[in-house]
Amino acid sequence: MQNNNNEIPKVYANERYVLHYNKNGSKPLFVICFNPTTFATIFTEKNDKKFQELCSKDKDLKSKVEEKRNAGICDSVVLDNTLKKIIKRSKKYDSFIFFNLIPRRSDNKKELEKAGNIEKNAEEIKNYIASYKTKCESIDILCAWGNILDNKAYREKAIESCIKIYESIKEFNCNYKRLDTDKKHPHHPAYYNGPFDFIRFDIKDYVKNVLRST
């Protein structure tokens, strides 16, 4: 999509499909959270002091970030606390790729109800998994969307998205992980203070007996 004013198209500005952190590592961890943080919007806020500071150090930063944002893709210039926590405590991995059930970037309830393009979201995730499958021994996925799936405002779209993602990548025989065993939904890392010892997550059973029976 062309944009002569170098502004981010509104159709993409409020969505994010993937965020990388050292995407060229040899031991990647894929993480599926609920929705993208609004924290990353500082990348393109014209009057944001942190963004201006980063731009002053890298003259090409603004154009690079905007180009990726146009496609719903971000490299990590600034990370929120949840992503920092996952990276810091996941010692086994050296590369991190973050996805979401809902690609809509917002903290507003009404905005989140719009969900974003969940079909495109599932397609993007499938493409990324497929590209890594050829160069990695295994694909480890940390499911980390939390119990927000029980929220009536988001439940229908979130469950639909989760099932679409699962169906789109099940051919790759991924290793699904979670942080705990005592919750119906995989624990959100921001609210988890236990050890980051990932355990096996039976995603097939979860989809069948939790999501599809809801």
Q: Domains in the chain: how many in total?
A: 1
* Residue 194 is assigned to a structural domain of this protein: yes
Q: CATH no. for residue 170?
A: 3.40.50
Express each pLDDT in 45-90 by its tens digit: 444 555 566 667 666 666 655 555 544 444 444 566 788 888 888 8
Render pLDDT for 138-191 as a digit per residue (tens, 0 to 9). Answer: 899 999 998 888 888 778 888 999 999 999 999 999 999 999 877 899 998 888
Tell whether 101 is covered by a domain: yes
Domain that holds residue 186: 16-37+79-211
**Per-residue pLDDT, 4:** 33
Query: Does residue 55 fall inside a structural domain?
Result: no
Letter string b/e over residues 158-170, b meaning 16 or more CB atoms within 10 A of that residue's CB: bbbbbebbbebbe
Q: What local confidence, expressed as pLDDT, does residue 30 receive?
A: 94
Residue 121 belongs to a domain: yes
- With respect to residue 53, please indicate whether it lies within any of the assigned structural domains: no
Is position 137 within any domain?
yes
**0.85 exceeded by pTM:** no
Which tokens in the block code for residue 173? 């025989």
